[in-house]
Every structure is written in C-alpha cells, then in structure tokens.
Amino acid sequence: MKTTDLIGREYEAGQIERALHSNESELIILYGRRRVGKTFLVNSFFQNRFAFKHTGIYDKPASVQLERFAVSLEEYGGLPGDPPENWFKAFDLLKHYLKGMTTSEKKVVFIDEMPWLDSPGSDFVAALENFWNGWASAEGDIVLIACGSATSWITDKLLGDKGGLFNRSASRIYLHPFNLRETEAYLSSRGFQWSRYDIAECYMIMGGIPFYLKQLLPEFSLTQNIDHLFFKDKGPLWDEFGHLYKTLFKSADSHIQVVETLAKKKMGMTRIEIANEGKLPDNGKLSAILKNLEGSGFIRTCQFFGNKKKDIIYQLCDYYSLFYLTYIRDNYGKDPHFWTHYLDNPSRRAWSGFAFEQLCGGHLPQIRRKLGISGILSETSSWFSKGKDGRRGAQIDLLIDRRDHIINICEMKYSLSEYSIDKDYEEALRRKMEVFREESKTRKSLALTFITTFGVKPNMYSNRVQSQVQLDDLFAEAQ
C-alpha cells in the first residue's frame, strides 16, 4: 500500500497496516472532527483499491440510503436489481458479493460517513452488528473500516458498552488535526514558503485542519488568504460554520449555543457557568452536548488547580469557531479586505494573545520536551483568584504540576519580536506567584516559565524567568 502522499499519520497508517496483516478479520473504527482528513487517509492508504466502498448521504431517509447502497453494490459487485427493503437484506447482499470474491488478500470494506446511514427507525446498527458478528468476523479475511465525523454517534453506537460491537474493534483510531510540525510540512508540500510566525498565525485561525489548509493559495500572503477565504463575498469558507455543526449534531443550535457561550470567556467556564450564562437547563441534555463537543474536538476540559473533577473548566479550543465568532460572523460581506484593514486594531492583538494560549495548550508535549520533563509525570491545570481582603485577584492560564515537586507557572505571550518585561509587569508576576502560593498552600517550588514567539528580551527584570519555550520549540516532533 502506498502512503507517500500522507503528511504525518504514521501511527494511524501503522494501525491499518497491522489489521491487514493479522490472521483474523478486523474492524477498524476511524473517527474525528469533520474536515480532518479521515477519508483522505483511507483513500491514500489503499489507493482506492477496495473490495467495496460506500459513503452515506447527509440528511436523507432510509429509502434513499438503501437505494444508493444498491448502486455501490452494482458498481463493485455487479449485483443489479431493486434496492433492498432494509439494512438486513442490504448486508446480506454485501455478504453474498464478498463470499464470491476470489483473492489471496484481505477484502477491505470501507463505509464512509456511516452515521448518516443510520436514519431513524432504520435498524442500521442492528444489521451492521448481525453482518459483523454473524459472519464477517469469523471469515478471517475481512477488514471493515467504519468511518464517520459524527463522533457522538461513533462513541454511542459503536464504541459504547451496550451494543453488540462493543470491544470488537481491532483498532479505534481518532484522527487528530495536524500539529504545527505537520502543518508546516503540509504547506511546504504545496509550495508555501511562509515563516513559522505566519504558519502559527494561520494555525491560530483555522487550526491544523487539512481541508481548510488546502484552500490556501501559495501566491497570496497569509493576510490576503484570510480575506479571500472568509471575508470575500461568497468566499470558499464563508458559510463553513453552519455546515460544520449541522452535519455533526442533530441538535446543532444547542451545540452552537454552548460554543457561543464559551467564546465569551477565554479562560473557560464551569458547567454551572455555561448553564447560567447560556441560559441552558443544567440537565442530561447539557451533559450530552458537552460530551459531544469534547469528543468532536471543539472544546476541551481543564482542571482547576487543587479542585476535584466536578469543578472542571470547559474551554473552546476549536480555532476556526473562535475566529468565526470573533470576526467573521459580524463582519462577513462588509469589507472584502477586512483582515488587511484590521492589521493594527487592538482587538486583533487581544485575539492573537488568546489564540496563542490555545495553541500552547494544544502543544503540551512539545512544551514538556523543551523543558526536559517529558519523562516526569505531570498534570496541567489553570488557576485564578478573585481576590479577598482588599487584595487584587490573579490568574494563571497554564500550570504544569510535576511529580518532582516543581510547578511551572507558564506565561504565554505572542509578539512580533522579543518580549520585554518591564517593572510593572515584573511586580505583577511576583504578586501573582505570591498569591498562588498563599491560596493554593502548595509546598512545591515554583518555576516561572515564559512561552513566547521569539523569547524574552534580556533586561534588568528578565532574570526572574527560569525557563523559556519559543515558537520554534512548538514545531518540534512530539515525544
């Protein structure tokens, strides 16, 4: 199998390779955020050489899904005839076709966008379980790849603990977006010669989503590309936000409501705060929404330092959603060169500072590697104090609590050049660490760490910084 077209994805390709060379039939469940490259991974790996391939259709009833499944059967197996009446008969036809194949290799069945096949009342999952458990798993020469972007459906219907497919998957592959290193490699393969600063800013806008990155034009600057993709009338990605959520979640409006609520507070919110601020009932539906959004990679949880799990903080971590809610939603169509004209706006600098913090949070393995603590057990969290007894509050967005009795207090700063610490900021840093030590009652050593684009400028206040991580370090390979 040829994988030379793939950027990264070595682990995922290895999982597929092992399934092909095992002595049993294998079920591979491949899932992840929409636009992350799941279909491209499978097509590139197999070079479209499948025993059978079919893709579900968004928001269509069972009758249409079965009709198109019959067309795929005819294309691959030459089985003309009326569409099957139900999914049990559809999988019987697939079984009949596969049994008639003569090949020494494993028969690869790729069903893409599988959640869309599961129309209400269609019994799709029951028929799939019957096909796999009742026949394919015992054949020894079948590789079934079940793929989908609706992560909640995948986890509930295929990976949950109630269905007949539970614990029967040889591989559960969650496909993550590219990290900075992989994004740089991808852009380089497409002829881009951008600086790492530009690549980082691009990442802070659209994340490491291959489909978005593919829309970029190498003859344009980054700023021109952003105007072209998001602010130009009917640009390539002007209406992506609505499609993104509606094709993933049945109750898309409620999911968007949670995302919009989290976008208002960069440090994140507790569940109670989300319910109150978003005017949402604090019930099982909210639990399902938060689970769906986290499973699909739109939000992440961050523990508040020293508190129990019930006090976890939810943060919006999808770069595109944050950028859309901050800029595109209210400015699309007003100025086709909005991003160019917004270059020196203070709001843009505030956004970039927060987006850089998100970027750091998404590259913790690289940060640990630079700090030389990859092999030390550690936990990350955030912390803030509202202040008391007339004392001002304080906030730390990233702490790395290490088993070797050291806590890295991380300050993340995005700037065009070396970051300069002045007298006032040095005093604020000192006060912040004092408040943290007093209120957390920690006895561990505190190490001030700066994570910046180009480092901290040496001056009379910079010696308070005990370790540094720079932008180049975030492009390192994760250990």
Integer Cα distance of 341 and 227 in angstroms: 10
Integer Cα distance of 88 and 134 in angstroms: 12
Domain count, the chain: 4
pLDDT value, residue 385: 86
DSSP 271: H
Q: Could you tell me if residue 142 is inside a domain?
A: yes
Please give the span between the terminal C-alpha atoms of the chain, in angstroms, as a whole number.
Answer: 27
Integer Cα distance of 110 and 107 in angstroms: 10
Are 38 and 138 in the same domain?
yes
Are 194 and 313 in the same domain?
no
Strand partners, 401: 379, 407
Query: Is residue 439 within 8 Å of 478, Cβ to Cβ?
Result: no
Are 231 and 251 in the same domain?
no
Phi then psi dihedrals of residue 217, to 5 deg: -110, 125
Q: Could you tell me if residue 326 is inside a domain?
A: no
Among residues 73, 102, 76, 75, the alpha carbon closest in space to that of 89 is found at 73
Report the chain (479 residues): mean pLDDT per 10 consecutive residues. 71 93 93 93 92 95 96 87 92 95 92 94 93 93 93 83 62 93 96 97 97 97 96 89 89 94 89 93 92 91 74 90 93 89 89 94 96 94 79 86 96 96 96 92 96 97 96 91
Are 217 and 113 in the same domain?
no
pLDDT value, residue 171: 83
Domain holding 294, by residue range, is 243-321
Are 188 and 271 in the same domain?
no
Integer Cα distance of 187 and 110 in angstroms: 28
Q: Could you tell me if residue 5 is inside a domain?
A: no
pLDDT value, residue 1: 45
Integer Cα distance of 144 and 131 in angstroms: 11
pLDDT value, residue 234: 87
3-state SS class at 329: helix
Q: Could you tell me if residue 1 is inside a domain?
A: no
pLDDT value, residue 155: 85
Are 216 and 270 in the same domain?
no
pLDDT value, residue 196: 98
- Characterize the bridge pairing of strands 378-385 and 299-304: parallel
Are 80 and 161 in the same domain?
yes
Between helices 10-20 and 38-46, what is the axis angle to 10°? 50
Q: Could you tell me if residue 23 is inside a domain?
A: yes
DSSP string, 155-193: IIIISSSSSTTTT--SEEEE-PPP-HHHHHHHHHHTT--
Among residues 282, 321, 284, 278, the alpha carbon closest in space to that of 299 is found at 321
Query: Is residue 402 within 8 Å of 441, Cβ to Cβ?
Result: no
Q: Which residue has the tokens 């209210």?
A: 330
Strand partners, 447: 408
pLDDT value, residue 166: 60
Q: Give the CATH number for residue 381.
A: 3.40.1350.10
Are 347 and 442 in the same domain?
no
Are 72 and 144 in the same domain?
yes
Are 35 and 160 in the same domain?
yes
pLDDT value, residue 384: 86
Are 73 and 133 in the same domain?
yes
Q: Could you tell me if residue 371 is inside a domain?
A: yes
Are 288 and 397 in the same domain?
no
